[in-house]
């Protein structure tokens, strides 16, 4: 099939692009790159344009024989939506309306649409079933709720088959380490923790430690981004039978914020400062998906959503791209330097030490302090003595491998 993936250059969208290509589909991406990245989709056909440009939408459907659409384009920061609600109703609701109208005009009938757990608000029941009342507590969730209602009404009047997938906390990265999460103003828990591990943030803050949960911190449901991408393809396969359905995508196993912090420290091997502050407005104590409907209707199970695997894949991405898609690839973890290899071979440092040195070098660079030699970093970090530095340099100069 030929798929149009709107918002395909974003975090989840780029994983949908990759899984679709792996499944043998052709893909065209429409994205205005407001938060997405050209590099996230390699050489996939990109139409750089917005959902607010009806001419661009019309031209995409005229130029390409599109069989189905995945719509992931949205503004999706909860705090930003509170400060700028107009942007959220405009981009998420009006944008999707434009897309649906263009699809109707072009006779493209299949749409898998990104929705969110934020449509429920503070839950009365966990795990949350899809028929739970929708009472969002912020404009982001409300804009997504309104999109669902609008699509339902449009589907009554037009030949438009849609499925809304309500993701819980999307996390992790493709196992290849090639693509991952890169948001300029990061508000998600796992990338923030990994930025702490990289030394890009001074500390991590737990908001609220007096909830009625097993350790006092909030409980959230993390679902691997690859599992979300797989669900899009499964929904598309069954869309004739499932049209009009809204389906949760979550692991149904929650982790507390404290547990996630511990896993981040264990997987990265990095210590960082953790502080505690009071509860934030609008944070429910527990958010957990019931995923029975995804299992029974789609045959979907969250195969990759074990939290260790989520953290490992996220860390693989973040440590090799410490500054996101704009990272300097000359000296990043995983890209072994000969100096580093010699230091390991001589038994002075471990592979993990090298990763830490590379992270430190990247941090120095990103702070505009230039490039610091690996050997010098190792000495300053107390990993090797100056005598050992001289010894490594002797082997280095000898051209020894
Ligand atoms: N990340 C999560 O945990 C999560 C959870 C639930 C739901 N969602 C939903 O998943 C979708 C993708 O989220 P994400 O985390 O990948 O966000 P993202 O910001 O990384 O991706 C959104 C993409 O859409 C593009 N875009 C936005 N508005 C556009 C417009 N008007 N026209 C064209 N392109 C536009 C952006 O440039 C970006 O590439 C969103 O709809 C979001 O609401 C995300």
| Residue of 308 and 43 predicted with greater confidence | 308
Which of 195-209, 210-224, 376-390 is predicted with the least confidence, judged by mean pLDDT?
A: 376-390
Q: 167 CB under 6 A from ligand 1?
A: yes
Residue bearing the CA closest to ligand 1, atom 15: 11
244 φ, ψ to 5°? Answer: 90, -5
Taking the CA of residue 52 as reference, the ligand 1 atom at the shortest distance is: 31
Q: Is the pLDDT of residue 334 over 80?
A: no
Q: 314 CB under 6 A from ligand 1?
A: no
Q: Is the pLDDT of residue 157 over 90?
A: yes
Q: Is the pLDDT of residue 345 over 50?
A: yes
What mean pLDDT is reported for the chain?
Answer: 93
Quick one: average pLDDT of 381-397? 83
Q: Is the pLDDT of residue 151 over 60?
A: yes
Q: 236 CB under 6 A from ligand 1?
A: no
CATH placement of domain 2-320 = 3.40.50.720
Q: Is the pLDDT of residue 399 over 70?
A: no
Residues annotated as catalytic (active site), given as ranges:
140
| Residue of 280 and 170 predicted with greater confidence | 170
Q: Is the pLDDT of residue 333 over 70?
A: no
Q: 182 CB under 6 A from ligand 1?
A: no
Which of 9-18, 272-281, 389-398 is predicted with the least confidence, judged by mean pLDDT?
A: 389-398
Q: 11 CB under 6 A from ligand 1?
A: yes
Q: 74 CB under 6 A from ligand 1?
A: yes
pLDDT at 160 (0 to 100): 97
Sequence spans of domains, the chain: 2-320, 328-397
Taking the CA of residue 76 as reference, the ligand 1 atom at the shortest distance is: 43
Query: How far, in Å, from the CA of 188 to the mean position of ligand 1?
Result: 13
| Residue of 293 and 200 predicted with greater confidence | 293
Query: How far, in Å, from the CA of 216 to the mean position of ligand 1?
Result: 31
pLDDT at 98 (0 to 100): 98
CA-CA distance, 81 to 75, in Å (whole number)?
A: 8
Query: How far, in Å, from the CA of 358 to the mean position of ligand 1?
Result: 31
Taking the CA of residue 171 as reference, the ligand 1 atom at the shortest distance is: 3
Pocket test for ligand 1, best of 9, 11, 168, 223 (most atoms within 8 A of CB): 11
Q: Is the pLDDT of residue 398 over 80?
A: no
Tens of pLDDT, residue by residue over 41-73, are: 988 999 999 999 999 999 999 999 999 999 999
Taking the CA of residue 40 as reference, the ligand 1 atom at the shortest distance is: 39
């Amino acid at each position: 099939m030929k798929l149009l993936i709107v918002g395909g250059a974003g975090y989840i969208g780029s994983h949908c692009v990759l899984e679709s290509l792996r499944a043998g589909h052709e893909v065209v991406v429409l994205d205005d790159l407001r938060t997405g990245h050209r590099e996230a989709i390699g050489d996939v056909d990109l139409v750089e344009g917005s959902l607010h440009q009806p001419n661009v939408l019309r031209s995409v459907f005229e130029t390409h024989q599109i069989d189905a659409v995945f719509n992931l384009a949205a503004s999706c920061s909860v705090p930003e939506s509170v400060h700028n609600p107009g942007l959220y109703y405009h981009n998420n609701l009006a944008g999707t309306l434009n897309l649906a109208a263009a699809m109707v005009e072009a006779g493209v009938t299949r749409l898998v649409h990104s929705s969110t757990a934020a449509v429920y608000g503070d839950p009365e029941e966990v795990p949350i079933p899809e028929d739970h009342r929708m009472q969002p507590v912020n404009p982001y969730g409300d804009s997504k709720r309104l999109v669902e209602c609008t699509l339902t009404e449009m589907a009554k009047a037009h030949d438009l088959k849609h499925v809304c997938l309500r993701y819980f906390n999307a996390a992790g990265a493709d196992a290849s380490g090639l693509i991952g999460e890169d948001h300029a103003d990061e508000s998600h828990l796992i990338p923030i923790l990994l930025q702490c591990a990289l030394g890009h943030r001074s500390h991590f803050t737990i908001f609220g430690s007096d909830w009625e949960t097993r350790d006092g911190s909030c409980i959230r449901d993390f679902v691997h981004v690859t599992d979300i991408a797989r669900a899009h393809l499964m929904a598309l396969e069954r869309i004739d039978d499932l049209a009009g359905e809204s389906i949760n995508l979550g692991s149904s196993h929650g982790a507390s914020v404290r547990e996630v912090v511990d896993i981040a420290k264990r997987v990265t091997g990095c210590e960082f400062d953790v502080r505690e502050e009071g509860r934030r407005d609008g944070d429910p104590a527990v958010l957990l998906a019931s995923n029975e409907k995804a299992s029974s209707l789609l045959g979907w199970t969250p195969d990759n959503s074990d939290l260790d695997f989520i953290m490992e894949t996220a860390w693989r991405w973040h440590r090799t791209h410490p500054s996101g898609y704009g990272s300097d690839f000359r000296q990043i973890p995983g890209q072994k330097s000969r100096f580093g290899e010699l230091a390991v071979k001589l038994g002075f440092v471990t592979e993990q030490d090298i990763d830490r040195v590379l992270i430190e070098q990247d941090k120095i660079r990103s702070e505009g302090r230039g490039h610091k030699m690996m050997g010098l970093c190792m000495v300053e970090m107390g990993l090797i003595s100056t005598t050992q530095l001289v010894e490594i340099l002797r082997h280095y100069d000898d051209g020894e491998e």
